[in-house]
Amino acid sequence: MPVYFGFPVSCEEAFRLFGQDFEGPAQTIMEQRNYRRDSWFIGSHLVPLLNKYLANNQSDLRLFETDKGACVIGYKIMELCGSTDNYIEVNNLLGVLITLKQRFDTEMRALSVDLSYIVLQRVEEEPETVHNPKPFVITHSTH
């Protein structure tokens, strides 16, 4: 089961956070693939575009597509993903989370991301505007 550290957002919100144009590329995808504007498939085609922007800015942050148009901007917690070991010591996990929080804050500042508000998008829930948000640990079942 994938486990992430960051914010659950829509693809469009992720583009807004990083000051990237969403509408132009989305329009191109809609025309090329004959998608409706509200189709969550559009985001699937745009995730690599934002990830390229992040990589070009020497950022380890990534946009992960989870399910039905929902995404996570942040990191995959590799220590909790795909491990055959069902146990992790609490102190080890706390160390991982503290390191991720520091890295997340540093990268968001370096990319000049304004976190005064963010529109969170949890799978199959209504969007929620949150002011001065703190990152989440997010699990996503692949079943």
Residues 6+ apart with CB under 8 A from 79: 88, 92, 93, 96
Residue with tokens 């946009």: 63
Q: 0.95 cut: is pTM over it?
A: no
Cite the DSSP H helix spans in the chain: 11-17, 23-33, 41-56, 90-110
Count the domains in the chain.
1
pLDDT tens digits, 50-65 = 999 999 999 999 999 8
State which amino acid sits at residue 95.
G
Domain boundaries, position 120: 3-139
Closest among 109, 139, 102 to 8, alpha carbons compared: 139
Residue 141: the pLDDT is: 61
**CB-side exposure of 87: number of CA atoms within 13 Å?**
1
**Amino acid present at 125:** E
Per-residue pLDDT, averaged over 110-126, amounts to 92
